[in-house]
C-alpha cells in the first residue's frame, strides 16, 4: 500500500468519547488512562501492580492501538483517588475523573476521536463519509485469531503451545503448571487471564465476520446498511446469509455450535450481528504538506470520529483503495 500510518507514535492519536455518568461520590473510581507504544492489557497490568490489586478489578470500555497515543476511561471498585494521580511511567499515566455507581463496562463509549498523520502519499485523498465496517487487524493481533480457532475446535494443546510461544509473559507460568500436571492443557489455560482468552475467541469471530462481509461486497448483494451475522452459537440455520456462511464454516472445519466450549464455558461465544457500513463523523482532511520522513512525498493531517467498534485503520485503507477492499 502506498500510504504509511503510525510512522511516529504521535502520528496516531485516539481519544475515547465516553458514555459514563460521573458523580461526586460512588462505589467506583473512574480514571483516564493515557498510554503510548503499549497495549491496553499491559497498561492495565502495570496500573494494577502499582495499586496492588488484581488486574481483573480494573475494567475498561475497549482495547486501544499499541503504536499510538491513546486516552481511555477505566474504573476500579473502591476509592483510589489519592493513588491514581501518582501513577506515571515512560509509557503511561493516569488521572482521576470522578466516581460512578457502576463499573465501566466493555462498550461503555459513544465512539472514538482520531487525529492521524497519513504519510508517503502522492495526493490528498477524496473525503469518504461511509465505509465497509471490517474489523481491523489489531483485533486479530499476532496469532490471536489462530489461538481462538484452536480454542473453538477444542484443540487446547495447540492453543496453549501457540499462546506460550507468542505471549512470552505467560510462558513460564504455563510450563511450570504442565510440569506438575502433564497434559492438563485446560488447567494450564486457566492460568491465563479470562479476558485475554475471550479476546482470542472474539478475534476469531471477527476474522470470520470479515470473510462473510467480503463475500457479500464481492457479490454486490449489499444494497443497504444490513446487519451481517457474527458467527457463534445460536446463529439461525435459516439465516438468509447461510449461502455465504456455510462455505466458510466448511473451510474452517467448524460448526456454529463449536463456539460452545464446555471445557472452558466462560469462553463460549454467542452469534450476533454487526452493521456492514460505518459512518464517518466530523471528518477534516488537511492539505498536502512536505513529508520530512519520505522525501518527494507528502503527508496529510486527518481527524474524524467513529462509533464504537469501528476501526480508523480500516477507514484510512479504504480512502486509498477500491471501496470495500480490505484483507488481513
Instruction: Please give the positions annotated as active site.
Output: 65
Question: Considering Cα of 102, then 105, then 110, then 111, what sign does the dihedral take?
Answer: positive
Residue 322, classified by CB atoms within 10 Å of its CB into exposed (0-12), middle (13-18) or buried (19+), is exposed
What gap in Å lies between CA 236 and CA 181, rounded to an integer?
Answer: 40
Helices (H), ranges, 54-155: 81-84, 137-140, 144-152
SS3 125: coil
* Residue 57 contacts residue 104 (beta carbons within 8 Å): no
C-alpha 23, offset from chain centre: 28
* Residue 298 contacts residue 121 (beta carbons within 8 Å): yes
DSSP one-letter code for 152: H
Cell 478489578 identifies what position?
A: 57
* Residue 96 contacts residue 34 (beta carbons within 8 Å): no
What gap in Å lies between CA 79 and CA 12, rounded to an integer?
Answer: 33
* Residue 274 contacts residue 209 (beta carbons within 8 Å): yes
What gap in Å lies between CA 64 and CA 84, rounded to an integer?
Answer: 20
C-alpha 167, offset from chain centre: 17
Helices (H), ranges, 181-237: 185-189, 194-218
Amino acid at each position: 500500500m502506498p500510504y504509511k500510518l503510525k510512522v511516529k507514535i504521535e502520528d496516531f492519536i485516539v481519544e475515547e468519547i465516553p458514555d459514563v455518568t460521573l458523580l461526586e461520590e460512588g462505589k467506583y473510581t473512574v480514571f483516564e488512562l493515557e498510554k503510548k507504544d503499549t497495549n491496553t492489557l499491559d497498561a492495565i497490568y502495570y496500573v494494577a501492580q502499582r495499586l496492588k490489586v488484581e488486574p481483573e478489578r480494573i475494567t475498561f470500555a475497549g482495547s486501544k492501538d499499541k503504536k499510538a497515543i491513546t486516552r481511555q476511561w477505566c474504573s476500579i471498585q473502591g476509592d483510589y483517588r489519592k493513588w491514581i494521580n501518582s501513577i506515571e511511567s515512560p509509557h503511561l499515566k493516569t488521572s482521576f475523573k470522578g466516581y460512578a455507581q457502576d463499573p465501566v463496562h466493555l462498550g461503555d463509549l459513544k465512539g472514538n476521536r482520531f487525529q492521524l498523520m497519513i504519510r508517503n502519499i502522492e495526493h490528498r485523498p477524496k473525503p469518504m463519509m461511509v465505509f465497509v465496517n471490517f474489523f481491523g487487524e489489531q483485533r486479530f493481533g499476532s496469532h490471536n485469531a489462530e489461538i481462538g480457532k484452536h480454542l473453538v475446535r477444542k484443540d487446547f494443546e495447540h492453543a496453549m503451545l501457540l499462546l506460550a510461544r507468542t505471549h512470552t509473559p505467560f510462558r513460564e507460568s504455563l510450563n511450570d503448571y504442565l510440569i506438575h500436571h502433564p497434559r492438563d492443557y485446560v488447567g494450564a489455560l486457566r492460568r491465563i487471564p479470562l479476558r485475554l482468552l475471550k479476546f482470542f475467541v472474539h478475534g476469531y469471530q471477527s476474522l470470520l465476520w470479515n470473510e462473510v462481509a467480503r463475500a457479500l461486497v464481492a457479490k454486490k448483494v449489499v444494497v443497504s446498511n444490513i446487519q451481517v451475522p457474527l458467527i457463534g452459537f445460536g446463529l439461525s440455520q435459516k439465516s438468509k446469509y447461510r449461502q455465504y456462511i456455510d462455505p466458510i464454516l466448511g473451510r474452517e472445519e467448524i460448526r456454529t455450535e463449536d463456539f460452545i466450549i464446555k471445557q472452558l464455558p466462560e469462553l463460549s461465544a454467542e452469534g450476533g450481528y454487526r452493521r456492514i457500513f460505518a459512518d464517518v463523523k466530523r471528518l477534516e482532511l488537511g492539505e498536502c504538506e512536505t513529508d520530512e520522513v519520505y522525501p518527494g512525498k507528502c503527508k496529510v493531517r486527518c481527524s474524524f470520529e467513529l462509533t464504537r467498534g469501528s476501526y480508523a485503520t480500516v477507514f484510512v485503507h479504504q480512502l486509498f483503495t477500491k471501496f470495500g477492499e480490505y484483507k488481513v
